[in-house]
Structure 1
Amino acid sequence: MQSFGEPWPELNDGLHYRDLLRSSDAGLKLIEFYSKKYRNSAPLLGWLQRIHNKQITIDGDAVTDPDTILREGMELIYYRLPWKEPDAPHLLEILYEDDDVIALNKPSGLQVLPGGLFQQRTVLTQLQWRSLKRTSSSAFQEPSPVPVHRLGRGTSGILLCAKTKVAKSRLAAYFADGTSVVGVSRHTNSELKTMRKITKIYRALASGVINGDEVVVEQPIGQIRYPGVAKGLYVASPSGKPSFSRVGVLERNIHSNCTLVQVEIQSGRPHQIRIHLSFIGHPLIGDPLYVAGGQPKCFDPEVMDESFAHDGGYQRPEKPVPGDCGYHLHAHRSVFPHPITDEVIDITASLPYILRTQEESTAITQG
């Protein structure tokens, strides 16, 4: 299999955030605008620090007075200083590629899209760099592929990316259609399979010994406030959105008190497999966040960290967050119709050693 990827520079380039002031914000003080509109980025004292650091300009001029009155039409730019992002792998294996689609084997530890501390060290950046490199050696400008779904930073395996707008639209629709029919009781399981255009099968290592050979989990997944997660943390919640996972036992290890499972998901809620397995009392081995019941460990919703870093932003939370790694989860197989030709594409990503059955490990060794 072909691979690509450029080593990460020590520091990223920082970020520029631009705002064109609307009439509804006219009359606000500079500090009011940022501390209210972007309160998830930094606390009040953090924004004061950024202003004093000359990280904010108005119409091209740095401003250090937080009480500056804003007027409609002003252009505000906040410059986030460059920083060293946490370590992340940079090589990506190509599992399938044509003029419309590229499927990658994403390594554990690499984030898909920019967010939080990871703004440069992402799959998206490597795709953009690859396109620029190929374009510079060709007379034709190659569009940069974009992921059409996400995998958790700690999750490895198949990531589908689109190379054209049409492919992106259709692949995204495949994922959305699969999620939309979950929980619709009037459909039989065979009908659901027909309606879902994409099949997603994962391997995972769950704690404890699962007794039944197959477990169906239909626990809804919702969100709660959680420190370090601006949009809220996904958890098992009765008031959440319908979710469906079919868990099949592949191998039980009584001595190590764990179970190797295959999971087919019909919906695509964030962290669904981690939440569903923990909900039934079998969190993934090494999961730093979710515990039995599908909830975060050691969480007091009344205690929210308000400390900030040298750039004014929030410190890395002391409590575990969804992007933390350590668990074993792999997107192993994906089957879907090609977004342009409708040909059935069946892609498999090789399994990490720890997620192979004994029989699979033996076959590879002997082969």
Structure 2
Amino acid sequence: MALNAGYSYHSQVQRGGVSLLAYLTGTFRHSAAEVWAQRLAAGEIEVGGVRATGDEALRPGQEVVWHRPPWQEPDAPLEFGVLFADASLLAVTKPSGLPTLPGGGFYEHTLLHQVRRHFPGASPLHRLGRGTSGLVLFARGETAGAALSAAWREREVTKTYLALVAGLPSWDTLEITAPIGPVAHPRLGEVYAASPAGKASHSAARVLERRPQALGVGETLLAVDIHTGRPHQIRIHVAWAGFPLQGDPLYAPGGGPLPELPGLPGDGGYLLHAWRLGFRHPGTGQCLTLEAPPPPELQM
């Protein structure tokens, strides 16, 4: 655990006529009214640049700022590797255990913060789960970011992952189209999982190596191409097919949460690696294929 430098959260009031305390409690539900009252008493909240008490009647357009004091962040591996860099793009390798973006108590211990220490202004074009390693692409400028974001929406970017799953599938290739949407989770209320009411999703898995074991069911190394970008798509789809990621603390065969004490989406213990990205360079038009070397367990 390490103490960070704190952070200032900015928000803009959309609807007026409520007190600041009511606004904070209703907008940021992660903290109860009593907690926000303590923060107000400590002088952490400003409205329009002025220290607030909580009784202020807000007007549309006002800026509310919470100056969060330094807090202890969970430990995480902070090293990343650079695969490609030019004036438009940056491609890096993220280690398993490092969040891509701030959230859940992480701010400085994130890939975004670490990358911007060396490449100010770089913006990630996608994100990987905390437990997922591999390639993350950043834009260096609005023009490149807009072009690649459009290519992502049009599904012109190819994405291949390596996944170690429990079991030995009989198939060599499998197209998976199980819809993905929110389902009940005992700790979070909801979590994304396989759901008939979810959004259309498409992955294509192929066997790279089967690893039988003398004791147990063995494990299999898969390459998985994703043609949509739903949350936790690969974890859900391979579980739906009956072969969850080896060590996944959340998803069970069938693609739903484990029936007893399912973990949280950010929990690690599994091996999933963003291996390859293929796209057209937004500046030169050149077709690029970038590859992040996998960890030893995901090598053939």
Fold shared, TM-score > 0.5 on shorter chain: yes
Residues 177 and 227 of structure 1, relative CA distance in 2, 3 Å threshold = farther
3-state SS of paired residue (1:113) = coil
Who is 1:350 aligned against? 293
2:267 is matched with 324
* Displacement after TM superposition at 1:20 (Å): 4.9
Equivalent in 273, 297, 310 of residue 234 of structure 2? 273
Aligned AA for 1:321? L
Name the SS for the 1:211 alignment partner.
coil
Q: CA deviation at 1:112?
A: 1.3
Q: Residue 50 in 1 paired to residue 39 in 2?
A: yes
**CA displacement 1:156-189 (0-9 Å, x = unmatched):** 11111111211111111222112xxxxxxxxxxx
Structure 1 residues 63 and 334 mapped into 2: Cα distance closer, same or farther (>3 Å)?
closer
Establish whether residue 213 from structure 1 lines up as the match of residue 204 from structure 2: no
Task: Report the equivalent of 2:161.
Answer: 202
**What CA deviation, in whole Å up to 9, does each residue of 1:1-34 have, x standing for no partner?**
xxxxxxxx93222222234545x332x2333221
- C-alpha separation between the residues in 1 aligned to 2:202 and 2:125? 20
Shift of the alpha carbon at 1:59?
A: 4.9
**Alpha-carbon spacing, 1:319–1:82, altered in 2? closer, same or farther (3 Å):** farther
Q: CA deviation at 1:108?
A: 0.8
With the length of structure 2 as denominator, give the TM-score of the two structures: 0.89
Distance 1:212 1:319, change over 3 A: closer
- 1:157-306, aligned counterparts within 5 Å? 157-178=134-155, 197-224=156-183, 226=185, 233-255=191-213, 256=216, 257-298=218-259
In the alignment, structure 1 segments of 5+ residues that lack a partner are: 1-8, 133-143, 179-196, 300-317, 358-367
1:334 corresponding residue in structure 2: 277
2:274–2:292 Cα contact (<8 Å) kept: yes
Identity of aligned residues (%): 39
Q: Secondary structure at the match of 1:290?
A: coil
Change (3 A) 1:228 1:126: farther
What TM-score do the two structures reach when normalised by structure 1? 0.74
Question: 3-state DSSP class of the match of 1:296?
Answer: coil
Give the alignment partner of residue 98 of structure 1, picking from 78, 86, 90.
86
1:112-123 to 2 correspondences below 5 Å? 112-123=100-111
The 2-side partners of 1:107 and 1:92 are apart by: 7
Q: Which has the higher strand share?
A: 2
Backbone CA RMSD of aligned residues: 2.4
1:150 to 122, 127, 131: 127
Counterpart secondary structure, 1:102: strand
Distance 1:351 1:72, change over 3 A: closer
Query: Quick check: 1:15 aligned with 2:7?
Result: yes
1:227–1:338 CA distance, 2 compared to 1 (3 A): farther
The answer as to whether partners of 1:149 and 1:172 remain within 8 angstroms in 2 is no
Question: Is the partner of 1:124 in helix, strand or coil?
Answer: helix
- Could you tell me which amino acid in structure 1 is paired with residue 8 of structure 2? H
Give the counterpart letter for 1:340 in structure 2. Answer: G
Q: Do the aligned residues in 2 keep the contact of 1:25 with 1:33 (CA within 8 Å)?
A: no
- The equivalent residue for 1:77 is 65
Structure showing greater radius of gyration is 1
The one-letter amino acid paired with 2:282 is P
Contact 2:248 2:270 in 1 (8 A): yes
Per-residue deviation, residues 59-91 of structure 1 (Å, max 9, x unmatched) = 555455x5x241427653322221121111121
1:280-304 CA distance string (max 9 Å, x none): 12110111111222122257xxxxx
1:35 is matched with 25
Q: Report SS of the residue matched to 1:45.
A: helix
Q: Which amino acid aligns with 1:72?
A: R
Please state how far the C-alpha of 1:267 moved relative to its aligned partner.
1.1
The partner residue of 2:16 within 19, 25, 28 is 25
Q: Partners in 2 of 1:165 and 1:44 — Cα distance?
A: 39
Which SS does the other structure have where 2:106 is aligned? Answer: coil
**SS across alignment from 1:166:** helix
Relative to structure 1, is the Cα distance of residues 298 and 118 closer, same or farther in structure 2, using a 3 angstrom cutoff? Answer: farther
Q: How far does residue 46 in structure 1 lie from its aligned partner after superposition?
A: 2.9
Moved more, 88-97 or 12-21: 12-21
Q: Which moved more, 1:90-99 or 1:50-59?
A: 50-59
The structure that is helix-richer by fraction is 1
Q: Report how many residues are paired.
A: 296
Moved over 4 A (4+): 19-22, 58-64, 225-230
SS at 2:119's partner residue?
helix
